[in-house]
Amino acid sequence: MTAVPEGGPGLPQRRTLVTEIPGPASRELSARRAGAVARGVSTVLPVFVTAAGGGVLVDVDGNSLIDFGSGIAVTGVGNAAPRVSSRVAAQAAQFTHTCFMVAPYEGYVEVCESLARLTPGTHEKRSALFNSGAEAVENAVKIARHATGRSAVVAFDHAYHGRTNLTMALTAKNMPYKQGFGPFAAEIYRVPMAYPLRWPDGPDACRAEALGVVKSLIHSQVGESNVAAIIIEPIQGEGGFIVPPKGFLPGLAKFCADNGIVFIADEIQSGFCRTGDWFACSHEGVVPDLITTGKAIADGLPLAGVTGRAALMDAVHPGGLGGTYGGNPVACAAALGAIETMVAEDLAGRARRIGEIMLPRLRKLAEQFPVIADVRGRGAMIAVELTHPGTLEPDAAATAAVAAACHKAGLVVLTCGTFGNVLRFLPPMVIGEDLLEEGLGILEDAFGTL
């Protein structure tokens, strides 16, 4: 192993390849891993990381890779961001755990105050903190069911809400998330997503028809008065960075309000500046009843939250929500450091700038390579969908080939989509423009290898 540099934004912000990817030290660790780690836990790019910061990941072989993944939309403020690292170190030196349900501490309250301030809407709010996004979604459903006395929950095609039993039921895609893991939780109903590229008669029809189709299915197959909650990702993440047409989310929120249904926005992937605003709902002024947050909230420490209308949140009896570790003090310290960074460095503005740089370049690339059927997303949450040219037939093989070429050249990109044919780009919001442009150049070259 080469000398290990210190992580954080001081790392040289450049791509450096000193071995093939993955290099020999990473390959050796992969062999060890195979004998110790369950194969169900898979890996996109088997380089073992020793340091990370800004827009780069440094591996055990001394390679420095450009990061367009942020650990799946987590390290938006940059890995080992100074305000996060210093608060985490200070908190860890004071106490690491009491259990908020046994003896509380200020950090938890401060995170909940921040969530009340930053999430959409000026109404009175309450929050509860958990360890993972899936746990937050489970609790949002618990709260909605308890507050309404209803049981049905409506989720969308292409949705991803996690890997626990209830969230697997909410998640749409079978392989790899659900295959062989049933039976799943009951009373989950699925409706079509407003997916402009794949709506039967195209994007204009999608804009005109999608809301009506959803409302009609709920009316005829579930009954509005049985529905506790509708849960939606304002921009779908794992399902393929699907951006619904303008008007769909506000229409859905109004339908919920008109029928006493709790509108849950799952902003675990799209939240905390990623789309160029604090939350993706805000682009259309949508105010959810409950909002789930996670991922970027704490720069990688395990923390997630449910925030919502005080009357809904407080409907649950004392002791009905919680968990041993939820809102751990070190994770709360990380969240306060991450939020402070987002404000101080205007990361929503940085995300918008990233979108302004990426979208035109990707649209140009789509003109050059007809395998790109769609370029979409907002801010620093951008994707391209690949199909066999001139058709909507997904091209997962080309998607995998482009991703592999990027990885080989030292650019971390992720794929997603129900059909495995979407390349998604989630650079840290703090990435430098030179590095961003260099990454885009690598991507362009990767398309050239098809």
Nearest to 417 by CA among 157, 44, 209: 157
The residue (of 23 and 326) whose beta carbon lies closer to ligand PLP is: 326
Among 53, 162, 244, 410, binds ligand PLP (CB under 6 A): 162
Among 59, 61, 138, 233, binds ligand PLP (CB under 6 A): 233
The residue (of 133 and 251) whose beta carbon lies closer to ligand PLP is: 133
* Least Cβ distance, residue 432 to ligand PLP (angstroms): 26
Judged by DSSP in three states, 234 sits in coil
The residue (of 13 and 270) whose beta carbon lies closer to ligand PLP is: 270
Number of C-alpha atoms within 13 angstroms, CB side, residue 22? 17
Which tokens go with 267? Answer: 């902003």
Backbone φ and ψ for 184, nearest 5 degrees, come out as: -100, 170
Among 78, 196, 244, 294, binds ligand PLP (CB under 6 A): 294
DSSP 325: S
Lookup result for tokens 């997603």: 416
Residue 13 contacts ligand PLP per CB under 6 A? no
Which of the ranges 88-96, 101-109, 261-269, 349-357 carries the binding residues for ligand PLP, by CB under 6 A?
261-269
Whether 273 and 347 have beta carbons less than 8 Å apart is answered as yes
The residue (of 160 and 419) whose beta carbon lies closer to ligand PLP is: 160
> How many whole angstroms separate alpha carbon 447 and alpha carbon 417?
19
Interface of this chain with ligand PLP, residues 337 to 376, rule: CB under 6 A = none
Whether 229 and 154 have beta carbons less than 8 Å apart is answered as yes
Judged by DSSP in three states, 308 sits in strand
Nearest to 190 by CA among 153, 226, 227: 153
User: How many Cβ atoms are within 10 Å of 385's Cβ, its own excluded?
Assistant: 27
Whether 155 and 149 have beta carbons less than 8 Å apart is answered as no
Whether 69 and 431 have beta carbons less than 8 Å apart is answered as no
Interface of this chain with ligand PLP, residues 118 to 147, rule: CB under 6 A = 132-134, 137
Give me the count of residues in the chain.
450
Residue 244 contacts ligand PLP per CB under 6 A? no
Residue 153 contacts ligand PLP per CB under 6 A? no
User: How many Cβ atoms are within 10 Å of 36's Cβ, its own excluded?
Assistant: 6
Among 48, 68, 105, 160, binds ligand PLP (CB under 6 A): 160
Residue 214 contacts ligand PLP per CB under 6 A? no
Which of the ranges 41-49, 99-107, 265-273, 366-374 carries the binding residues for ligand PLP, by CB under 6 A?
265-273
Which of the ranges 15-23, 56-64, 232-240, 241-249 carries the binding residues for ligand PLP, by CB under 6 A?
232-240
Residue 299 contacts ligand PLP per CB under 6 A? no
Among 269, 293, 418, 421, binds ligand PLP (CB under 6 A): 269
Binding mask 58-97 for ligand PLP (x = CB under 6 A): --------------x-------------------------
Backbone φ and ψ for 28, nearest 5 degrees, come out as: -65, -45
What is the total count of residues that contact ligand PLP (CB under 6 A)? 15
Residues that bind ligand PLP (CB under 6 A): 72, 132-134, 137, 160-162, 233, 237-238, 266, 268-269, 294
